[in-house]
Amino acid sequence: MLNQQLGTKYITTDKLNVRPVKFLDEESGIHRYEITVGTSHYAADIVSTLSFTDDVDLDIPVGAMTDGHTYYATLKVIYHLT
């Protein structure tokens, strides 16, 4: 996690901070978000699907992450059906 406000940078392997903001669909509206974390594109082998409904600042526990590896967070936006 990078802390830009304090001007310091630090890395932690125990959580991933995600903040989906300013997603907007004026036509049908957003029903929910889904996020996964994995070791390849669209994989969910580190964190399986988490669903949430608001623009929130999430700290996702990811104890299985190893320093020096690449991980991918995938955010899916689910719209209201009309």
Per-residue confidence (pLDDT) for residue 12, from 0 to 100: 61
Percentage of residues of the chain with pLDDT beyond 90: 9
* pLDDT tens for each residue of 37-66: 899 999 999 888 988 887 677 777 777 778
Confidence of residue 5 (pLDDT cuts 50, 70, 90): very low
Per-residue confidence (pLDDT) for residue 29, from 0 to 100: 82
Per-residue confidence (pLDDT) for residue 13, from 0 to 100: 60
- The CATH number of the domain holding residue 21 is 2.60.40
Q: Which residues contact 35 (CB under 8 A, 6 or more apart)?
A: 18, 20, 47, 49, 50, 52, 58, 60, 73, 74, 75, 76
Per-residue confidence (pLDDT) for residue 8, from 0 to 100: 52
The domain total for the chain is 1
Domain residues for the domain of 55 are 2-79
